[in-house]
Amino acid sequence: MLTLNSSEVPVLIGLAVLLVLAGVLVVALLVRSSRRGSAPQVPSPPSQEAPPSQEAPREAEEVTAPREPAAVAEPALREVPAPTAGRLVRLRERLARSGSPLGARVLSVLSRDHLSEDDWDELEETLLLADVGAGPTAELIDALRTRARVAGLDDPAATRAVLRDQLVALLDPSLDRSLGVQPGTDEAGAQVPAVVLVVGVNGTGKTTTVGKLARVLVADGRSVVLGAADTFRAAAADQLATWGSRVGVPTVRADRDGADPASVAFDAVRTGRREGVDVVLVDTAGRLQNKAGLMDELGKIVRVVTREAPLTEVLLVLDATTGQNGLSQARVFAQVAAVTGIVLTKLDGTAKGGIVVQVQRELGVPVKLVGLGEGPDDLAPFDVEAFVDGLLGA
Ligand SMILES: Nc1nc2c(ncn2[C@@H]2O[C@H](COP(=O)(O)OP(=O)(O)OP(=O)(O)O)[C@@H](O)[C@H]2O)c(=O)[nH]1
Ligand SMILES: [Mg+2]
């Protein structure tokens, strides 16, 4: 039997108090760490894209095709892209944010009482500065002057309607703006994927456009393979593969920097064909239209790819903020690669969207898609009326 003498009692009480305190401390720590474990997960930010290269890629060299098949990056994550319908509606709000949109400035001049010659000059200047081009600007001013003579410009709604009609006519709603993304069949009856080649000068938004387009196609229920034919920098292929992986689309890429881009493009199309996919999207390196070597390289990509499957679409990506220069780019690219559609990017940050009119007029090639921002779903099918309404802030 355990006996205690009176001097031991306070010591034991002290020990008991210490034990209780230690127990409380342990429980408190456990509760705290379990709370931390069940804290709501903050979604990780979308992976950063590689910054666009600032310098022009070096001249094309005769590089040999890699013997081994190009790597196919396996998709990891899945996102659900937003539907494409109604995306152009965002144009208005984006333009409003960009300062002084073309439509707003034109309408503000037209709303003045009794337009003077200076007012008409201002109007003309506004349209020219927005890259609408000399010919189309003159047509537009003529139509508005006629309207002013015949019925006056007192009724803002009527003036606006005239301007709207004129802009719609200039943009030619009759052009076929559907994308060539329908697969075909070979002589044996096997499916041949549609092949979309994306070209343009540095930093216009080619890779971003390919990424956004892949999302649109996936949302449409089509199977897609990406081809990273920008082999100048590994980062370019990584940037593309990141876009693809977000929607479960594989990327065919070279196994080393500086591989022959034509060979990678060919591998991508061959892979697409073998896997029976619907669409192969081929991203290319930015190239300057006045560099013969680079343009020859592009010609080679076109020739090599068409040995495996016909090109169903060649998209020239133009940066709307570069304005007039886009026109000379368009001419040269159209000669080398038979451009079938224009993608006008960065329309969200500029009042220069008028280049749409000039490019279409001069090349007879329709604008098919527009880039409205850096977000993954900021790519909209070009629709003339919705575009004009966006410009006019409808
Ligand atoms: N605001 C805005 N930015 C865009 C748009 N499209 C692309 N960008 C941005 O433009 C930059 C260049 O885009 P990339 O897709 O890398 O351009 P690229 O043509 O592939 O560039 P290179 O391969 O270097 O020739 C990126 O920061 C994009 O986020 C757009 O429609 N609006
Ligand atoms: Mg790129």
Return the pLDDT at 388. Answer: 87
38 Cα–ligand 1 center, Å: 39
Give the single-character DSSP code of 268.
H
pLDDT band at 193 (very low <50, low <70, confident <90, very high): very high
CA atoms within 13 A on the CB side of 234: 5
| Pocket mutation for ligand 1, best pick of 367, 372, 374 (most atoms within 8 Å of C-beta) | 374
Cβ neighbours of residue 67 closer than 8 Å, sequence gap 6 or more: none
Closest-CA residue to 252 (of 241, 236, 262): 241
- Checking if the pLDDT of 62 tops 60, the result is no
Return the pLDDT at 63. Answer: 37
Q: Compute and round to an integer the Cα radius of gyration of the chain.
A: 30
Q: Of 68-72, 102-106, 115-119, 254-258, where does mean pLDDT reach its minimum?
A: 68-72
- Checking if the pLDDT of 11 tops 70, the result is no
Return the pLDDT at 35. Answer: 36
| For range 328-338, the mean pLDDT | 90
Q: Quote the percentage of the chain above a pLDDT of 90.
A: 47
Can you tell me whether residue 283 is helix, strand or coil? strand
- Checking if the pLDDT of 342 tops 60, the result is yes
Structure-token pair, residue 109: 């001049």
Q: pTM for the complete prediction?
A: 0.79
Q: Which atom of ligand 1 is nearest to the CA of 208?
A: 15
Return the pLDDT at 1. Answer: 41
Distance CA 154, CA 305 (A): 58
314 phi/psi in degrees, rounded to 5: -120, 110
Strand stretches in 64-190, DSSP E: 71-73, 184-185
221 Cα–ligand 2 center, Å: 25
| For range 318-329, the mean pLDDT | 83
pLDDT band at 159 (very low <50, low <70, confident <90, very high): confident
